[in-house]
Structure 1
Amino acid sequence: MKFVDEATIEVIAGKGGNGAASFRREKFIPKGGPDGGDGGRGGSIYAVADRNINTLVDFRFARLHRAKNGENGRGSDQYGAAAADITLRVPVGTTIFDAETGEQLFDLDRHNERATLAAGGHGGLGNLHFKSSTNRAPRQFTPGQEGEQRKLKLELKVLADVGLLGLPNAGKSTLISKVSNARPKIADYPFTTLHPNLGVVRTSPSHSFVIADIPGLIEGASEGAGLGHLFLRHLSRTRVLLHLVDVSSPDPSIDPVDQAAQDARAIAEELRLYDKDLYEKPRWLVLNKLDMVEDPDDVKQRLCDALDWTGPVFGISALTGEGAQELTWRLQEWLDAEREQANIAQDKADGSYIAEDPRFDDTRSDSV
């Protein structure tokens, strides 16, 4: 299925039914009084996040979503029926904006999370509600309210723990195909990847994480050059970025370390220009194609010195898979620790955190 990460739609909720002005007229029952019922509620339109959907492509073809109006009230105390609601199922990670003002309305980042896109109008009141001791034959009734109408922009930000970052042909697609179940298109020309690819990396039967590969960035991407700028938003939800750098050079006259350092600085600068928060995310340096250099250790040290790099650094060969397993294990350990800290912080915020007491640690063994 084609990956579509944004769409513009219009939602129109149903109008409420009108109230009725009616009087009870039956043989042998004089002065029956008012019996006009209320109108039914108009249909509302909701959005629900569904983890079984991974694209917004359906909304490219179905742009208008209109709910039905509620029924009008009738005599004999008959209320109008409410109209059926409409539920739009969207991928988890969908952000919904007002298309006219640009205001963010909803961020559906959890399965089954629900948002009201357009509320249906309330039904009008029948004359039954207006009777009183001084107004025994009311002819007042109210019309149904109009339903809400909005023009919305849907944007999908994929939910991944790890994001791959780098120039075109840095080896991102090859790496994700080696360590996960994703099977992206791989070729020896730039911009092979045209849309984000997600893969699940399973490091053990009970441990896994999601990795995302986006189209390669080039210099000027923050201003719209190339393809990667269209998908940089997908990296905003990741916990850590893997910055892949190609340390091989087919041209013997070019120092591969100098070229790799220049490429790494260019990508880092594009991140900074695009989004400061994204630039400040944890980032690991991954040197790819080390199997094509004579002295991998020397290349790794020289590149770290050139970049003044003090963070985690790994050397791999995405083609052969060398070093990829160690990288995934380290990622899993780091992500597990991050999740545990996030859970503790959430428990503290909820007031349900209980600190462990070492006196009741069953895993401890005291020597006799």
Structure 2
Amino acid sequence: MATVVVPQLLTLTLRVPLPPKANTGIFSFGMATNISRMNDSLPGISHWMLHSEAQLHILAPVEEYASVLEARMRKASVNVTIHTDETPFARRYVSLIQKLYDERSPETRWLVLTDDDTFFPSIASLASHFTDNYDSSESIIVGAISDDLRVIELYGLLAAGGGGIFISVPLARQLLQQPTWSKCMAFSNNEGDELLDKCLNTFTQVRPVFDQALHQMDIYNGEGSSPEAGYLESGRKLLSIHHWKTWYEFNVAQGAAVAVATGHEGIFQRWLFDGDTVLSNGYSVVEYPRAGSYGGITEKELEGVEYTWNEGDPEELWRYVHMMGPLRPRKTSEKKRSAKLVDAVEVITPEGRAIRQIYVERSQSNTAFRPRDRVVELIWLI
């Protein structure tokens, strides 16, 4: 077998923004879920709650494993309390408002309703964004609007729970007044965000403020596809993402592992190399081949988000431009070679501690185009 000598490349220095200085204690997060789903979500939650000043309260039906999970999360430096609640999901979800209000600290400014498949890449950026842009002394609710106009047509202009619903303490106090609260909890709805929206519309003049950096991600492609690629390769500021273990599969904790080296601001940060290779940190390394009529990719093209969901159907593109536009057509596999992150672990190198990322492009059987797997290894020095 012939020996292949791989030349050593020069070390690259990439610039990553410093994390903002922010008080994360302004948030008290709440989830209505069950213990088995929480166990699957633990690695992702541990990332964004780790060593923060925020609280996390979970309402879940009685399960024997609850105390064990709570202990595991606290050992991982997550400030969490699991509360037993047997009420139907929608009411349990909205009742988080009362639980978070009752458990708030003197620092709490926002009561945040989330799903167990919601992920915040940087809680410091989230806190800085809310401190700079919203007045928590007012009765206000901030959230994500659905990415899909057809969903909006069905359910209206409501704050979608998966992107995070942020309720100021004064608004929570207003909703919890009797008899308003009892009437809200008596409404019949199957979804928590719909029940909350009905309560707001019936008893207050407060309507949601929709934040473009919060993402519900109502996108789908079918089994085995990657609808999320357009978002996570967009280079845009993503304060929240959703559906990472339900509508598509992406290991958010693995993607975020690079934060040990780059800080949380480096997660999903994007770099363009030589006009044909793009690193979306923690998600993919993509090559846009320069061959034949293919000419790499330009910075102008990269200003648009690739339409990687809904099968890339151009007739349906209008449904999504309000949230993620401008959009650009989905690239075929001949024009875009994607190596996706499959592993990220801490290692020891001659230079010291580092994070090693492995990105893999899988071979395509029965074609000459990609006869074998292709691997990209990145070493981030800590």
Fold shared by both chains (TM-score > 0.5): no
Q: As a proportion of its length, which structure holds more helix?
A: 2
Please report the TM-score for the alignment, with normalisation by the length of structure 1: 0.26
In our comparison, the structure showing a higher alpha carbon Rg is 1
